[in-house]
Chains A and B, each alone.
Chain A
Amino acid sequence: MRTHVTILDEVLDPKAWFTEIEVSEDTGAVAAFVGKCRGEKGRLKALELEHYPGMAEAEIGRIMEAAHARWELFDLFVVHRTGIVPVGEPIVLVAAGSVHRDAAFDAVRFVMDFLKTDAPFWKREHLVDGTVGEWIDAKESDDNARERWAEAPATA
């Protein structure tokens, strides 16, 4: 099993990172998710991401361990941006490799759901008019997405 975590303060190019995803010979499925900074209908110029160096890597590592315990995964891969992320640019890349697609799809979603609520990152809006906006509030829907996994059965 391979795990990889990178916290990045420069442009996250998914195409370049995809070539870094090492896949074992027993891997039959690789699923990947890219989360991007959206423009909020022309209101937003960028998002600023702050993180807790050290704990961010450690916490993502613990989330990955939980995913490994739940599914038979060969590869798990997370790259997360910090700093100023302009609209249109990727913020996060999560990829998982497994024997079959269900485990790969589910593991990516699991890692994203826990990353949202548990990994120590915070977002603040930078607006098109040049002002620095508010810190973004945590969403209840993200907590609910995370809680769902408490009841969900594991897929092979």
Chain B
Amino acid sequence: MKVKYFAWVRERIGVPEEEIVLPENVSTAGDLILWLKGRGDGYAYALEQDRFIRVAVDQRHVTHDAPVSGAREVALFPPMTGG
């Protein structure tokens, strides 16, 4: 599965995207955030306040209880500030 990061989430993690193999116990977006947090300091810092992290599955916004298993692409990013 491809995971993409944007804005300060991308900067803190240090890469714009990566391929990951989802562990069996990770089924929702919230599970994914929790699992990523354990992968290193950059991840822990980026995802520290997980309630502010927005998630998109296959380029659609989802809530943290949405499933991620089976997705082609998941993205994590801060609240949006366009326009």
By a beta-carbon cutoff of 8 Å, the part of chain A in contact with chain B is 35, 49-52, 54-56, 58-59, 80, 91-92, 112, 115-124, 135-138
Give bound CA distance, A50 to B6, whole Å: 8
Q: Which residues of B contact A124 (CB under 8 A)?
A: 7
Closest to B54 in A: A120
Interface residues on B, range: 10 to 19
**Given A50-B7, A52-B4, A124-B7, residue A119 in contact with residue B80 (CB < 8 A):** yes
Give bound CA distance, A115 to B59, whole Å: 15
Tell me if A119 and B6 are in contact (CB < 8 A).
Answer: no
Smallest Cβ distance from A54 to chain B, in angstroms? 6
Tell me if A120 and B6 are in contact (CB < 8 A).
Answer: yes
Tell me if A112 and B83 are in contact (CB < 8 A).
Answer: yes
Closest to A55 in B: B59
**Given A54-B59, A120-B6, A135-B7, residue A49 in contact with residue B82 (CB < 8 A):** yes
Tell me if B59 and A119 are in contact (CB < 8 A).
Answer: no
Give bound CA distance, A124 to B78, whole Å: 12
Q: Assess whether B40 is interfacial by the CB under 8 Å rule.
A: no
Give bound CA distance, A136 to B81, whole Å: 7
Q: Assess whether B35 is interfacial by the CB under 8 Å rule.
A: no
**Given A55-B75, A122-B6, A135-B8, residue A91 in contact with residue B83 (CB < 8 A):** yes
Q: Which residues of B contact A58 (CB under 8 A)?
A: 59-60
User: Per DSSP, are chain A's interface residues mostly helix, strand or loop, or mixed?
Assistant: mixed
Closest to B7 in A: A122
Known: A92-B82, A119-B82. 8 other contacts (CB 8 A): A52-B75, A55-B75, A116-B82, A117-B80, A122-B82, A124-B7, A135-B78, A138-B81
Question: Which of B60, B61, B75, B81 has the most A CB atoms < 10 Å from its CB?
Answer: B81
Tell me if B80 and A122 are in contact (CB < 8 A).
Answer: yes
Give bound CA distance, A112 to B82, whole Å: 9
CB contact list, B31-83 vs A, under 8 A: 56, 59-61, 75, 77-83
Tell me if B59 and A122 are in contact (CB < 8 A).
Answer: no
Question: Which of B7, B60, B77 has the most A CB atoms < 10 Å from its CB?
Answer: B7
Tell me if B83 and A120 are in contact (CB < 8 A).
Answer: no
Q: Which of B7, B8, B83 contacts A119 (CB 8 A)?
A: B83
Tell me if B82 and A120 are in contact (CB < 8 A).
Answer: yes
